[in-house]
Structure 1
């Protein structure tokens, strides 16, 4: 099943919207340079516009999207240093997707990349070449474009984002030959782009992608029919992380899931029809101890 078949039943409400060969992403980009002393602030505005247009106007796949099928996401680039066309700082990527038969939008990815460094000359054109490393900025943006596509597709079909994660892997491999940039190699630490992509494609961490599908399609998307049953199902799917945790405690993908979902899980189990949540609360404290303040707000 391709991304085109993402089955939003509520789309029938928009049947008057014509089908177009639209691009896949709807990114909002913000470049935050408020802590950088730079007389010419226009370069940051130009960079912001260029990044957003590149993400949203590039055709990343061979699939046709309607405007309302685009994937909503945001990228915030916090600039910590700028000197002579060289930028460094961090990216904060957030991605969401709608829930079946609902006006609710659920977060599916929330990731901070602290190893951002690149050169950018104002008004320089952006070109994506799938077979060649152009520069680190193009690779960074393209990597997160394909990672966004892959994670979104994984929530609609089991392992549905495989081809996009593999394309992100190609970007990682091509970027490894570049000099003086971090985040692309196995030696770059446990929070790198290499580690995020490698874990995504590894069977060692298979529960992450399985849960992403089950949680959204079988859990959240079932809420419209029966919220109590939905809560019970979500508990079951979240606790699938127990097996991953026993093999790789506090893995990057496990932390990534709960960074995106902690507020949502707290809200789900703090209201609505009552279910026995003693086991899930105990599990959450073990699986995501960094979110313990939120788990304490869940009342048994």
Structure 2
């Protein structure tokens, strides 16, 4: 009996302290020819193991609390163990009292390069630079976790953002692109700088309002949930007035545009004229989709 109790205790402790991510990893190497495809398969497995077996914080995470995400790599160039890739990072979370999941992140990083030698160890250490592959994976893993946490509590992801900032700062002297300030808007440097800036607090507030006060209440009260989502868009409008066409506003709509259209194209009927105007003001590039809202 005592042995059974000890076994159950150990198993429960293991489950309670499990890693935070439930990641899917895919590598598309169709553009690269005359290369043994096994290297890409091995890389895919090592990235999968790294993301799913690494603890990025000291938080206790249950199995059902892991964050669903995907890391999709397109290999644009490969030569002498040097990779140039496009990385697509997506994450979702469940909607309360429903069978639906909602997209949180949809980030496309076209400026990722790294050197990879088959079977080299990928070890997480936010305080040192071991390889650009590890730094990029660790950076986005923390961004995924921060964004997810921000949807459950007001600025709940700050701890993860601080880790991402530290990773970015350490990587700046590596010489790899994406870590330093340039004329480009969509860099890892700009992403974490904006997320940590008080100027862009409205983005993180919107994540919280949109999900906790909006989506998570729609199962019980559809109309109230929709009204709260309208309020969250007004919060994002405050950011637009201070920083038009900001990276974070685009980051929000890269994930949410289609969902917002779907939410407001069904009942119950609301006056959507104001929210359509707000959406068109913040994200004019999606005007054709906003016009579908009736």
Displacement after TM superposition at 1:283 (Å): 1.1
Residue 291 of structure 1, aligned match among 273, 286, 289: 286
Q: In the alignment, which residue of structure 2 is the partner of 1:253?
A: 248
* Counterpart-to-counterpart distance in 2, 1:107 and 1:147: 14
Q: In the alignment, which residue of structure 2 is the partner of 1:156?
A: 152
Say whether residues 1:22 and 2:18 are aligned partners.
Answer: yes
* Counterpart-to-counterpart distance in 1, 2:244 and 2:126: 35
* Counterpart-to-counterpart distance in 2, 1:45 and 1:75: 14
Displacement after TM superposition at 1:224 (Å): 1.5
* Counterpart-to-counterpart distance in 1, 2:59 and 2:198: 27
Q: In the alignment, which residue of structure 2 is the partner of 1:216?
A: 211
Residue 81 of structure 1, aligned match among 77, 80, 87: 77
* Counterpart-to-counterpart distance in 2, 1:215 and 1:298: 18
The answer for unaligned runs of 5 or more in structure 1 is 1-16
Displacement after TM superposition at 1:52 (Å): 0.9
* Counterpart-to-counterpart distance in 1, 2:141 and 2:191: 14
Displacement after TM superposition at 1:188 (Å): 5.7
Q: In the alignment, which residue of structure 1 is the partner of 2:171?
A: 175
Q: Deviations over 1:170-212 (max 9, x none)?
A: 0000000112x10001126210001000000101111000000
Q: Deviations over 1:266-300 (max 9, x none)?
A: 0000012100000001111111112122112112x
Question: Equivalent residue of 2:27, what SS?
Answer: strand
The answer for unaligned runs of 5 or more in structure 2 is 1-10
Contact 1:25-1:71 within 8 A present in 2 as well: yes
Q: In the alignment, which residue of structure 2 is the partner of 1:14?
A: none
* Counterpart-to-counterpart distance in 2, 1:290 and 1:100: 31
Displacement after TM superposition at 1:66 (Å): 1.6
* Counterpart-to-counterpart distance in 1, 2:35 and 2:85: 19
CA RMSD between the two structures: 1.2
Question: Equivalent residue of 1:116, what SS?
Answer: strand
Q: Deviations over 1:121-141 (max 9, x none)?
A: 111111112221111000000
Q: In the alignment, which residue of structure 1 is the partner of 2:114?
A: 118
Say whether residues 1:241 and 2:218 are aligned partners.
Answer: no
Say whether residues 1:195 and 2:206 are aligned partners.
Answer: no
Aligned residues: 282
Residue 277 of structure 2, aligned match among 282, 291, 296: 282
Moved more, 240-249 or 258-267: 240-249
Residue 56 of structure 1, aligned match among 35, 52, 58: 52
Question: Equivalent residue of 2:104, what SS?
Answer: strand
Q: In the alignment, which residue of structure 2 is the partner of 1:8?
A: none
Say whether residues 1:130 and 2:143 are aligned partners.
Answer: no
* Counterpart-to-counterpart distance in 2, 1:130 and 1:164: 11
Which structure features the higher share of helix residues?
Answer: 2
Displacement after TM superposition at 1:20 (Å): 3.2
* Counterpart-to-counterpart distance in 2, 1:288 and 1:45: 39
Q: In the alignment, which residue of structure 2 is the partner of 1:147?
A: 143
Question: Equivalent residue of 2:16, what SS?
Answer: coil
Question: Equivalent residue of 2:122, what SS?
Answer: coil
Contact 1:182-1:188 within 8 A present in 2 as well: no
Say whether residues 1:109 and 2:93 are aligned partners.
Answer: no
Contact 1:172-1:194 within 8 A present in 2 as well: yes
